[in-house]
Structure 1
Amino acid sequence: MSWDYEKFVQLSDAEEYFEFFQLPYDQKVINVNRLHILKKFSEFIQQIDENNPELSNSEKLSIYRDALEQAYQIFLESTPLEQKLFKVFKQKPKNVITLTELSSD
């Protein structure tokens, strides 16, 4: 399949990526996990580009398609909290004592 790389770099919405690559998706899943899917997809793209600088644009797009499918699949089987893609999920809350930190004397 042949995709237009110039068109790809202009995409921004999750639905646009799925439609560009002609991948099926559930709108409810996209609505709930949109930012997480796009963040994971972005991480995959960065890894692909760093590890495969010799690939042509059409070869990259083929691999990007698989990466988008994989990012989507992750959030069918996992939650954003489990994936911890964003800083807010990685930070320990301040002024909070967890039950595991309490001890009975």
Structure 2
Amino acid sequence: MSKTIDEFKKLNDAEEYFQFFELPYDQKIVNVNRLHILKKFSQYIQEIDEQSADLTAEEKLNQYCLALQKAYEVFLESTPQEQKVFKVFKDKPKNVITLTELSSD
């Protein structure tokens, strides 16, 4: 039974995506980085959709599968703070003074 884009669109959580694409994953990694993996995956999907309008549904799903694997692997090697996929990691806090900003008179 082949998978369809409609089935893909019904998926909700990270584990469902991994199961849909039959990709192995470590539950501990997913538990810690779930939102970051899904956000990165979403960014990759957006790039695929923008650059590959002429792909068949099967080709698009294959690209999505590779994108999920790539998003997962990013967080095997890196941290959410390093990847900065969410705005909270990009913005400098307004109420923080760094040690380099302090000077002794």
Normalization by structure 2: what TM-score?
A: 0.95
Aligned twin of 1:64: 64
Q: Which runs of 5+ in 1 are unaligned?
A: none
Structure 1 position 59, deviation (Å): 0.6
Instruction: Report sequence identity in percent.
Output: 69
For 2:64, give the aligned amino acid: Y
C-alpha RMSD of matched pairs (Å): 1.3
For 1:60 and 1:69, how far apart are their aligned partners in 2?
Answer: 14
Aligned twin of 1:94: 94
Partner SS, residue 93 of structure 2: coil
For 2:20, give the aligned amino acid: F
1:1-105 superposed matches below 5 A: 2-105=2-105
Cα shift readout 1:62-88 (whole Å, capped 9, x = no counterpart): 010000000000000000000000010
Alignment size in residue pairs: 105
For 1:67 and 1:82, how far apart are their aligned partners in 2?
Answer: 19
For 2:65, give the aligned amino acid: R
For 2:33, give the aligned amino acid: N
Structure 1 position 102, deviation (Å): 2.2
Structure 1 position 57, deviation (Å): 1.2
Cα shift readout 1:13-52 (whole Å, capped 9, x = no counterpart): 0000000000000000000000000000000000000011
Structure 1 position 7, deviation (Å): 0.6
Structure 1 position 103, deviation (Å): 3.1
Partner SS, residue 70 of structure 1: helix
For 2:38 and 2:89, how far apart are their aligned partners in 1?
Answer: 16
For 1:92 and 1:17, how far apart are their aligned partners in 2?
Answer: 33
Normalization by structure 1: what TM-score?
A: 0.95
Q: Which runs of 5+ in 2 are unaligned?
A: none
